């Protein structure tokens, strides 16, 4: 759901509007959608369409990130979701690595949510999937998450944790009847994952009829994300909701059986912009466009469809990119990239570090897998060459 990037989004992505072969397999529900600045401005009409045509009950909007970033669409999203008669919640993309940082980020998120109009009683979840938490022990993450959630309740909001399935009860504890967990099966129909938790985010690229782009969608197992308000409207066409949910659970992309993946733990730096895709095929949906200079770590490679493809592990799945045509396999990249690192000091910023090293802020952030809105902390190491 991040939203440092074109939100986490992996192989096994779901396509809406495709024919579903059998109505006997239970489809995962599109109970909740989460949106951020990556989705752009969302109108009330778009939310009404989600509600009436797809059965969406709740929307969770990005409020803030780190200690300084306020999502510019938070206020309009909150107002338009409420006008559409759906439950509204928020989330904060976390970068905290200590208890003090967790409390500071919770205070920032709470104040930002109040200013954006998030109503008291809504959920304000902490989205914990960043590099900062990946470097910490489970006990430390638990300690920090507890501090964030305790502080956020002082603003009148209910707390929860969003993270990936690979991190749940590994990088942090997600107790039963709590938590919002992401995990994307290749074909979600017939699957019921993380049923012991509040919600399961089962796709990172679902499509809605009148809205542009892909969206994160979740199935709710409890009423935690719908308990703060009363819904004033219901879907107008239950049959359409059923049909659309069936279609959303069908994935027509099939794993290749004609070629075999081989292990390849390498680091590449892109010479040119390359599309990161949901599968190793030029017909697979693009997750995002990685600009020139981006550093990519891979774990497997394959030659198929006229290209040499590599697989990039992501926080809860994989992305795929071509390194070049099969006849010139490294046309787009250089391998074995060597980096010079800089350790962030108190008072540093993206601008000051970029200026000092002859880079643009965007280039500096991209080659570290971040955006210029990502909060950086003293002691953090950034690749500057």
Quick: pLDDT tens for 256-272.
445 678 888 888 888 77
The two tokens of residue 335 are 């391998």
Query: Taking 90 as the threshold, does the pLDDT of residue 7 lie above it?
Result: no
Q: Return the pLDDT at 59.
A: 97
Query: Taking 60 as the threshold, does the pLDDT of residue 113 lie above it?
Result: yes
**Alpha-carbon span 203 to 201, nearest angstrom:** 6
pLDDT band per the 50, 70, 90 thresholds, residue 328: low
Q: What is the pLDDT of residues 124-180, one digit of tens each?
A: 999 998 888 988 999 999 999 999 999 999 999 999 999 988 899 999 999 999 999
Q: 250: number of CA atoms within 13 Å, CB side?
A: 15
Residues 6+ apart with CB under 8 A from 205: 9, 13, 14, 15, 214, 215, 278, 285, 287
pTM of the shown model: 0.65
Residue with tokens 């955006």: 371
The two tokens of residue 56 are 């969406």
Q: What is the dihedral of CA 59, 370, 5, 47, to 10 degrees?
A: 30
Q: What is the pLDDT of residues 16-65, one digit of tens each?
A: 333 333 345 678 999 999 999 888 899 999 999 999 999 999 999 999 99
Q: What is the pLDDT of residues 66-99, one digit of tens each?
A: 999 999 999 999 999 999 999 999 999 999 999 9
Residues 6+ apart with CB under 8 A from 162: 1, 91, 125, 126, 127, 128, 129, 179, 180, 181, 182, 201
């Amino acid at each position: 759901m991040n939203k440092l990037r074109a939100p986490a989004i992996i192989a096994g992505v779901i396509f809406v509007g495709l024919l579903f072969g059998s109505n006997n397999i239970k489809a995962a529900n599109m109970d909740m959608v989460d949106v951020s600045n990556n989705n752009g401005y969302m109108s009330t009409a778009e939310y009404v369409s989600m509600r009436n045509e797809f059965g969406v009950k709740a929307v969770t909007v990005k409020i803030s990130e780190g200690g300084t970033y306020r999502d510019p669409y938070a206020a309009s999203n909150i107002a338009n979701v409420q006008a559409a008669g759906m439950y509204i919640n928020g989330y904060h993309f976390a970068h905290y690595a200590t208890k003090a940082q967790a409390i500071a980020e919770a205070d920032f998120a709470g104040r930002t949510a109040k200013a954006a109009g998030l109503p008291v009683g809504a959920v304000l979840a902490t989205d914990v999937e960043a590099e900062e938490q990946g470097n910490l022990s489970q006990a430390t993450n638990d300690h920090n998450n507890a501090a964030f959630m305790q502080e956020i309740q002082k603003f009148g909001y209910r707390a929860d944790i969003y993270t990936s399935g690979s991190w749940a009860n590994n990088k942090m504890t997600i107790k039963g009847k709590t938590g919002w967990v992401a995990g994307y099966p290749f074909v979600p129909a017939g699957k019921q994952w993380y049923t012991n938790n509040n919600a399961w985010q089962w796709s990172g690229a679902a499509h809605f009829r009148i809205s542009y782009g892909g969206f994160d969608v979740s199935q709710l197992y409890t009423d935690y994300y719908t308990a703060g308000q009363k819904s004033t409207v219901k879907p107008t066409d239950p049959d359409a909701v059923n049909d659309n949910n069936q279609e959303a659970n069908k994935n027509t992309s099939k794993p290749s059986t004609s070629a075999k993946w081989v292990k390849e733990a390498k680091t590449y730096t892109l010479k040119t912009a390359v599309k990161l895709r949901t599968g190793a095929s030029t017909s697979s949906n693009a997750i995002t466009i990685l600009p020139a200079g981006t550093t990519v770590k891979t774990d497997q490679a394959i030659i198929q469809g006229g290209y040499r493809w590599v697989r990039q592990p992501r926080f809860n799945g994989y992305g795929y990119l071509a390194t070049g045509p099969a006849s010139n396999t490294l046309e787009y990249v250089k391998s074995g990239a060597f980096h010079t690192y800089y350790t962030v000091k108190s008072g540093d910023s993206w601008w000051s570090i970029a200026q000092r090293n002859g880079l643009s802020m965007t280039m500096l952030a991209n080659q570290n897998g971040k955006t210029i809105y990502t909060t950086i902390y003293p002691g953090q190491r950034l690749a500057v060459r």
